[in-house]
Amino acid sequence: MSAHSAGIARFKWLIPATYILFLMLPIYWLLNMSFKTTNEILAGFSWWPSDFTVDSYVIILTDPTWYMGYVNAIIYVTLNTVISVAFALPAAYAFSRYRFLGDNYAFSRYRFLGDKHLFFWLLTNRMAPPAVFALPFLQLYSALGLFDTHIAVALAHCLFNIPLAVWILEGFMSGVPKEIDETAYVDGYSFPKFFVKIFMPLIASGIGVTAFFCFMFSWVEMLLAKTLTSVAAKPIVATMTRTASTSGYELGLLAAAGVLTIIPGAIVIYFVRNYIAKGFALGRV
């Protein structure tokens, strides 16, 4: 190795380190702010809190108008994740194992084409911004008496999450050879028994990744969640838009709420990080 390239090798760490620094900076700043008083935040630039305080966290964790935001969000996010995975499992299995469109004589040459389009159409549901659906959902749910309920938000998010869940799960399922299904039938398993006992353990990581993506979308989505709720099911992201109160801007409080909002996602990512890599390898995540 020449002296020159040895010199380059010595600074190899520099680029990723810089990158990570840039990524971490906003998070650090949020954390920094959450331990300051609003006055200190507004007073000027400082790298760390001079007047360290956890008051903001205390307020959030004791005031129901704040902490119920987290509870509400967790309720509808969990509901949504369960519904999405439960519906996507059979749908993805059908896409991975059967041919529907034109599996007959007349259309046989188009059957692959047909299925591909149906599959793709599912995904196009994700292409419209949620704002497009805010008005119809609001009107529909108000008429049905679902306004300001957890299930309303959970169902609205299904529009985006089920197609994604089908897409991801189909990738994992198609990685399992069809012969395993058949071997199970030959062994005597009925379809439901095979699906639960043999098949689901084989795609467990896929189910984990799918649940993660449903969770993440539902957790960060704000527009629909805010539109479809008022008090009883109001999520934290909506609460956080309350930037000003009678005492003026409460930036410290907002920062603390932000930090607490990051935590659940970080925990979930930690648990599924290895599976996500597998999903990337399949080209489905």
Q: CA angle, corner 127, sides to 121 and 132, nearest 5? A: 115
Q: 139, 257, 150, 275: which is closest to 213 by C-alpha?
A: 275
Cβ atoms of 67 and 235 closer than 8 Å:
no
Q: How far is the CB of 204 from other proteins (least distance, A)?
A: 8
By CB under 8 A, tell whether 16 contacts other proteins.
no
Q: How far is the CB of 214 from other proteins (least distance, A)?
A: 23
Q: How far is the CB of 278 from other proteins (least distance, A)?
A: 14
User: Which residue among 33, 164, 184, 259 contacts other proteins (CB under 8 A)?
Assistant: 184
Residue 53 DSSP label:
-
* CB nearer other proteins, residue 115 or residue 221: 115
By CB under 8 A, tell whether 185 contacts other proteins.
yes
Considering only the stretches 49-57, 87-95, 180-188, 231-239, report the one whose residues sit in contact with other proteins under the rule CB under 8 A.
180-188
User: Which residue among 2, 6, 179, 192 contacts other proteins (CB under 8 A)?
Assistant: 179
User: Which residue among 13, 98, 105, 270 contacts other proteins (CB under 8 A)?
Assistant: 105
The mark string for 188-227 relative to other proteins (x by CB under 8 A, - otherwise) is: xxx--x----x--xx-x-----------------------
By CB under 8 A, tell whether 249 contacts other proteins.
no
- Backbone angles phi and psi of 222, in degrees to 5: -115, -40
**Which residues lie across from 245 on neighbouring strands?**
248
Considering only the stretches 130-138, 142-150, 182-190, 272-280, report the one whose residues sit in contact with other proteins under the rule CB under 8 A.
182-190
Angle between helices 204-220 and 251-281 (to 10 degrees): 150
User: Which residue among 7, 136, 177, 248 contacts other proteins (CB under 8 A)?
Assistant: 177
HEC secondary structure over 191-217: HHHHHHHHHHHHCHHHHHHHHHHHHHH
**Segment 106 to 165, residues that bind other proteins, using CB under 8 A:** 108, 111
* CB nearer other proteins, residue 14 or residue 180: 180
Per 3-state DSSP, the chain is made up of helix, strand and coil in percentages (nearest 5) of 75, 0, 25
What are the distances in angstroms from CA 162 to CA 149, 214, 266? 20, 8, 23
Q: 213, 180, 196, 207: which is closest to 97 by C-alpha?
A: 180
User: Which residue among 8, 118, 180, 196 contacts other proteins (CB under 8 A)?
Assistant: 180
Which residues contact other proteins by CB under 8 A?
103, 105, 108, 111, 177, 179-180, 182-190, 193, 198, 201-202, 204
